Protein backbone atom coordinates (compact mmCIF):
# COMPACT_ATOMS: atom_id res chain seq x y z
CA UNK A 1 0.00 0.00 0.00
CA UNK A 2 1.30 3.45 -0.92
CA UNK A 3 2.38 5.70 1.92
CA UNK A 4 0.46 8.96 2.39
CA UNK A 5 2.06 12.07 0.97
CA UNK A 6 3.53 14.06 3.90
CA UNK A 7 2.65 17.34 2.18
CA UNK A 8 -0.90 16.81 0.96
CA UNK A 9 -2.21 14.10 3.30
CA UNK A 10 -4.67 15.42 5.91
CA UNK A 11 -3.73 15.48 9.58
CA UNK A 12 -4.21 12.03 11.06
CA UNK A 13 -2.79 10.17 8.07
CA UNK A 14 0.36 9.54 10.12
CA UNK A 15 -1.34 8.99 13.47
CA UNK A 16 0.08 6.27 15.69
CA UNK A 17 -1.99 3.19 16.34
CA UNK A 18 -3.29 2.57 19.86
CA UNK A 19 -0.31 0.76 21.43
CA UNK A 20 2.46 3.03 20.05
CA UNK A 21 0.43 6.06 21.14
CA UNK A 22 0.09 4.69 24.68
CA UNK A 23 3.83 4.01 24.69
CA UNK A 24 4.57 7.53 23.44
CA UNK A 25 2.55 9.03 26.28
CA UNK A 26 3.98 6.76 28.96
CA UNK A 27 6.92 9.03 30.00
CA UNK A 28 4.48 11.89 30.63
CA UNK A 29 3.16 10.07 33.70
CA UNK A 30 6.62 9.97 35.30
CA UNK A 31 8.02 12.67 37.63
CA UNK A 32 9.60 15.63 35.89
CA UNK A 33 13.20 14.60 36.41
CA UNK A 34 16.00 12.64 34.81
CA UNK A 35 13.97 9.42 34.89
CA UNK A 36 11.34 10.90 32.61
CA UNK A 37 13.95 12.25 30.21
CA UNK A 38 15.65 8.87 30.03
CA UNK A 39 12.29 7.19 29.41
CA UNK A 40 11.52 9.66 26.62
CA UNK A 41 14.78 8.79 24.89
CA UNK A 42 14.11 5.05 25.11
CA UNK A 43 10.51 5.39 23.91
CA UNK A 44 11.53 7.64 21.03
CA UNK A 45 14.17 5.17 19.87
CA UNK A 46 11.73 2.25 20.08
CA UNK A 47 9.05 4.06 18.11
CA UNK A 48 11.52 5.21 15.45
CA UNK A 49 13.29 1.86 15.17
CA UNK A 50 10.92 0.62 12.46
CA UNK A 51 11.81 3.50 10.17
CA UNK A 52 9.10 5.89 11.29
CA UNK A 53 9.81 9.34 9.85
CA UNK A 54 6.58 11.27 10.44
CA UNK A 55 3.98 11.27 13.19
CA UNK A 56 0.73 13.19 13.67
CA UNK A 57 0.20 13.87 17.39
CA UNK A 58 -1.46 16.16 19.90
CA UNK A 59 1.71 17.98 20.81
CA UNK A 60 0.19 20.21 23.54
CA UNK A 61 -3.37 20.26 24.93
CA UNK A 62 -5.65 21.14 22.05
CA UNK A 63 -2.74 21.73 19.65
CA UNK A 64 -1.70 19.32 16.94
CA UNK A 65 1.40 18.87 14.81
CA UNK A 66 2.82 16.70 12.07
CA UNK A 67 6.31 15.97 13.35
CA UNK A 68 9.20 15.17 11.02
CA UNK A 69 11.45 12.99 13.15
CA UNK A 70 14.54 12.61 10.98
CA UNK A 71 15.55 16.12 9.95
CA UNK A 72 14.47 18.50 12.70
CA UNK A 73 15.86 18.18 16.22
CA UNK A 74 13.03 20.08 17.90
CA UNK A 75 10.33 18.02 16.24
CA UNK A 76 12.18 14.83 17.20
CA UNK A 77 12.62 15.88 20.82
CA UNK A 78 9.00 16.88 21.35
CA UNK A 79 7.68 13.61 19.85
CA UNK A 80 7.87 11.70 23.14
CA UNK A 81 8.77 14.64 25.36
CA UNK A 82 6.28 17.47 24.97
CA UNK A 83 6.28 18.08 28.73
CA UNK A 84 10.05 18.25 29.16
CA UNK A 85 10.94 19.94 25.86
CA UNK A 86 12.21 23.42 26.87
CA UNK A 87 10.01 23.07 29.96
CA UNK A 88 11.74 25.81 31.98
CA UNK A 89 11.57 28.28 29.10
CA UNK A 90 7.93 27.56 28.40
CA UNK A 91 7.10 27.80 32.11
CA UNK A 92 8.48 31.36 32.16
CA UNK A 93 6.24 32.31 29.24
CA UNK A 94 3.28 30.57 30.86
CA UNK A 95 3.74 32.66 34.02
CA UNK A 96 3.69 35.81 31.92
CA UNK A 97 0.48 34.71 30.22
CA UNK A 98 -1.12 33.91 33.57
CA UNK A 99 -0.17 37.35 34.95
CA UNK A 100 -1.48 39.19 31.89
CA UNK A 101 -4.37 41.42 32.90
CA UNK A 102 -7.03 43.27 30.99
CA UNK A 103 -8.93 42.59 27.80
CA UNK A 104 -6.08 43.29 25.41
CA UNK A 105 -4.44 40.17 23.93
CA UNK A 106 -1.16 38.82 25.22
CA UNK A 107 1.30 39.48 22.37
CA UNK A 108 3.91 36.84 21.58
CA UNK A 109 6.50 37.20 18.83
CA UNK A 110 8.04 33.91 17.69
CA UNK A 111 11.12 35.06 15.78
CA UNK A 112 12.51 31.97 14.09
CA UNK A 113 9.29 30.02 14.50
CA UNK A 114 10.56 26.84 12.83
CA UNK A 115 7.67 24.33 12.75
CA UNK A 116 5.72 26.39 15.28
CA UNK A 117 6.22 24.47 18.51
CA UNK A 118 6.64 27.55 20.71
CA UNK A 119 3.67 29.17 19.02
CA UNK A 120 1.53 26.07 19.67
CA UNK A 121 2.70 25.98 23.30
CA UNK A 122 1.65 29.61 23.80
CA UNK A 123 -1.72 28.93 22.18
CA UNK A 124 -2.28 25.92 24.45
CA UNK A 125 -1.38 27.86 27.59
CA UNK A 126 -3.49 30.86 26.61
CA UNK A 127 -6.46 28.62 25.98
CA UNK A 128 -6.01 26.78 29.27
CA UNK A 129 -5.67 30.07 31.18
CA UNK A 130 -8.53 31.74 29.34
CA UNK A 131 -6.40 34.59 28.02
CA UNK A 132 -6.70 36.25 24.59
CA UNK A 133 -3.51 36.04 22.56
CA UNK A 134 -1.95 37.47 19.41
CA UNK A 135 1.03 35.71 17.85
CA UNK A 136 3.39 36.88 15.12
CA UNK A 137 5.35 33.86 13.86
CA UNK A 138 8.36 34.88 11.77
CA UNK A 139 9.77 32.10 9.59
CA UNK A 140 11.68 32.69 6.33
CA UNK A 141 12.45 29.09 5.32
CA UNK A 142 9.76 27.82 2.89
CA UNK A 143 9.83 24.21 4.16
CA UNK A 144 9.73 25.14 7.84
CA UNK A 145 6.98 27.63 7.07
CA UNK A 146 4.98 24.95 5.26
CA UNK A 147 5.23 22.75 8.37
CA UNK A 148 4.31 25.68 10.60
CA UNK A 149 1.23 26.53 8.55
CA UNK A 150 0.18 22.88 8.39
CA UNK A 151 0.38 22.64 12.18
CA UNK A 152 -1.61 25.84 12.62
CA UNK A 153 -4.30 24.50 10.30
CA UNK A 154 -4.37 21.13 12.08
CA UNK A 155 -4.82 22.98 15.37
CA UNK A 156 -7.49 25.31 13.91
CA UNK A 157 -5.30 28.06 15.36
CA UNK A 158 -6.61 31.60 15.38
CA UNK A 159 -4.94 34.90 16.10
CA UNK A 160 -1.64 33.82 14.52
CA UNK A 161 -0.03 35.77 11.69
CA UNK A 162 2.85 34.16 9.80
CA UNK A 163 5.49 36.61 8.54
CA UNK A 164 7.38 34.96 5.63
CA UNK A 165 10.54 37.00 6.03
CA UNK A 166 14.01 36.84 7.55
CA UNK A 167 14.84 39.43 10.18
CA UNK A 168 17.72 41.79 9.51
CA UNK A 169 19.12 45.17 10.42
CA UNK A 170 17.56 46.77 7.33
CA UNK A 171 15.19 45.90 4.52
CA UNK A 172 16.52 43.97 1.54
CA UNK A 173 17.08 40.40 0.52
CA UNK A 174 19.09 37.54 1.98
CA UNK A 175 19.93 33.93 1.25
CA UNK A 176 19.20 30.97 3.48
CA UNK A 177 21.65 28.21 4.31
CA UNK A 178 19.93 25.12 5.67
CA UNK A 179 21.69 22.39 7.64
CA UNK A 180 21.07 19.03 6.00
CA UNK A 181 21.01 17.33 9.39
CA UNK A 182 18.72 19.73 11.19
CA UNK A 183 16.16 21.98 9.49
CA UNK A 184 15.98 23.93 12.73
CA UNK A 185 19.35 25.45 11.86
CA UNK A 186 18.58 27.87 9.05
CA UNK A 187 21.20 30.60 8.66
CA UNK A 188 20.79 33.97 7.00
CA UNK A 189 23.59 34.93 4.60
CA UNK A 190 24.04 38.14 2.66
CA UNK A 191 25.67 36.22 -0.19
CA UNK A 192 25.10 32.62 -1.18
CA UNK A 193 23.30 30.27 -3.52
CA UNK A 194 20.47 29.28 -1.18
CA UNK A 195 16.83 30.33 -1.50
CA UNK A 196 16.38 34.11 -1.63
CA UNK A 197 14.00 35.61 0.93
CA UNK A 198 12.89 39.11 1.93
CA UNK A 199 14.90 40.68 4.76
CA UNK A 200 13.01 42.98 7.10
CA UNK A 201 13.83 44.85 10.33
CA UNK A 202 11.91 43.67 13.38
CA UNK A 203 10.29 47.06 13.88
CA UNK A 204 8.93 46.97 10.33
CA UNK A 205 7.47 43.49 10.79
CA UNK A 206 5.70 44.62 13.97
CA UNK A 207 4.38 47.80 12.33
CA UNK A 208 3.07 45.93 9.27
CA UNK A 209 1.11 43.65 11.58
CA UNK A 210 -0.31 46.42 13.75
CA UNK A 211 1.72 45.48 16.85
CA UNK A 212 2.35 48.35 19.27
CA UNK A 213 3.29 46.27 22.33
CA UNK A 214 5.14 42.96 22.79
CA UNK A 215 4.77 40.97 25.99
CA UNK A 216 7.22 38.18 25.16
CA UNK A 217 9.53 37.55 22.23
CA UNK A 218 11.37 34.32 21.59
CA UNK A 219 14.24 34.95 19.19
CA UNK A 220 16.27 32.09 17.74
CA UNK A 221 17.62 33.09 14.34
CA UNK A 222 20.89 31.18 14.37
CA UNK A 223 23.46 33.84 15.15
CA UNK A 224 21.73 36.78 13.46
CA UNK A 225 20.18 38.05 16.69
CA UNK A 226 22.75 40.78 17.40
CA UNK A 227 22.31 42.91 14.23
CA UNK A 228 18.53 42.52 14.41
CA UNK A 229 18.33 43.61 18.04
CA UNK A 230 20.92 46.37 17.64
CA UNK A 231 18.86 47.99 14.89
CA UNK A 232 15.62 47.42 16.80
CA UNK A 233 16.84 49.08 20.01
CA UNK A 234 18.18 52.01 17.98
CA UNK A 235 14.95 52.59 16.05
CA UNK A 236 12.01 51.36 18.13
CA UNK A 237 10.46 53.34 20.98
CA UNK A 238 10.98 51.78 24.40
CA UNK A 239 7.27 51.03 24.79
CA UNK A 240 7.64 48.61 21.84
CA UNK A 241 10.51 46.70 23.42
CA UNK A 242 9.42 43.21 24.58
CA UNK A 243 8.75 42.91 28.29
CA UNK A 244 10.55 39.57 28.20
CA UNK A 245 12.98 38.10 25.68
CA UNK A 246 13.84 34.41 25.43
CA UNK A 247 17.14 34.17 23.58
CA UNK A 248 19.57 31.38 22.75
CA UNK A 249 22.96 31.59 24.46
CA UNK A 250 24.40 28.10 23.97
CA UNK A 251 26.93 29.23 21.34
CA UNK A 252 28.30 32.07 23.47
CA UNK A 253 31.33 31.81 25.72
CA UNK A 254 30.07 34.66 27.93
CA UNK A 255 26.64 36.25 27.99
CA UNK A 256 28.17 39.75 28.09
CA UNK A 257 29.69 39.20 24.63
CA UNK A 258 26.50 37.86 23.04
CA UNK A 259 23.24 39.20 21.68
CA UNK A 260 21.89 38.64 25.17
CA UNK A 261 24.63 40.95 26.42
CA UNK A 262 23.37 43.61 24.01
CA UNK A 263 19.97 43.31 25.69
CA UNK A 264 21.59 43.72 29.10
CA UNK A 265 23.17 46.99 27.94
CA UNK A 266 19.69 48.23 27.01
CA UNK A 267 18.11 47.69 30.40
CA UNK A 268 17.25 44.00 30.50
CA UNK A 269 18.16 41.75 33.40
CA UNK A 270 18.69 38.00 33.51
CA UNK A 271 15.66 36.37 35.12
CA UNK A 272 16.86 32.84 34.47
CA UNK A 273 19.76 31.17 32.66
CA UNK A 274 19.02 27.74 31.22
CA UNK A 275 21.40 25.32 29.56
CA UNK A 276 20.78 26.71 26.08
CA UNK A 277 18.73 29.86 26.57
CA UNK A 278 18.37 32.91 28.79
CA UNK A 279 15.21 34.65 29.95
CA UNK A 280 15.71 38.42 29.96
CA UNK A 281 13.26 40.86 31.54
CA UNK A 282 13.07 44.57 30.79
CA UNK A 283 13.73 46.56 33.94
CA UNK A 284 11.82 49.70 34.92
CA UNK A 285 13.41 53.08 34.40
CA UNK A 286 15.45 54.71 31.69
CA UNK A 287 18.51 53.12 30.12
Report pLDDT digits (tens) over 83-99.
Answer: 899 999 999 999 999 99
CB 176 within 8 A of CB 142: no
CB 134 within 8 A of CB 76: no
Domain membership of residue 2 (yes or no) is no
Mean pLDDT of 153-174: 96
Q: Are residues 142 and 268 in the same domain?
A: yes
Report pLDDT digits (tens) over 22-53.
Answer: 999 999 989 877 889 899 999 999 999 989 99
Mean pLDDT of 228-256: 89
Domain membership of residue 11 (yes or no) is no
Confidence of residue 253 (pLDDT cuts 50, 70, 90): low
**66 to each of 11, 61, 73, 143, 226, how far by Cα in Å?**
7, 15, 14, 13, 32
The CATH number covering residue 126 comes to 3.40.50.150
Dihedral sign computed on CA atoms, order 56, 145, 72, 70: positive
**Domain containing residue 109:** 87-282
What pTM does this model have? 0.94
* Mean of the per-residue pLDDT values of the chain: 92
Report pLDDT digits (tens) over 54-86.
Answer: 999 999 999 999 999 999 999 999 999 998 999
Domain count, the chain: 2
DSSP one-letter string for 106-173:
EEEEEET-TTSHHHHHHHHHHHHHT--EEEEEE---HHHHHHHHHHHHHTT--SEEEE-SEE-SSSEE
Report pLDDT digits (tens) over 112-133.
Answer: 999 999 999 999 999 999 999 9
CB 79 within 8 A of CB 44: yes
Q: Are residues 120 and 226 in the same domain?
A: yes
Last residue of a domain, one of 79, 95, 114: 79
Q: Are residues 98 and 231 in the same domain?
A: yes
**277 to each of 26, 160, 200, 255, 281, how far by Cα in Å?**
28, 24, 24, 10, 13
Express as a percent the part of the chain with pLDDT over 70: 94
Q: Are residues 62 and 144 in the same domain?
A: no
Last residue of a domain, one of 79, 99, 123: 79
Amino acid sequence: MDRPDPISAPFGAFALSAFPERLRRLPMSLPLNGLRRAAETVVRRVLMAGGREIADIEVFPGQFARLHLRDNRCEKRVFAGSRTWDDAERAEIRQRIAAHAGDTPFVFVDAGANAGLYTLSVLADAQTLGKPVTVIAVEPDPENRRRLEFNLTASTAKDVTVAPVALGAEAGEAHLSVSGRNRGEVHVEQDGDGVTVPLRPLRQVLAENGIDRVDVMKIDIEGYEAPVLDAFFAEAPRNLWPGMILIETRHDAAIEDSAAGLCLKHGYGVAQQMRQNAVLVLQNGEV
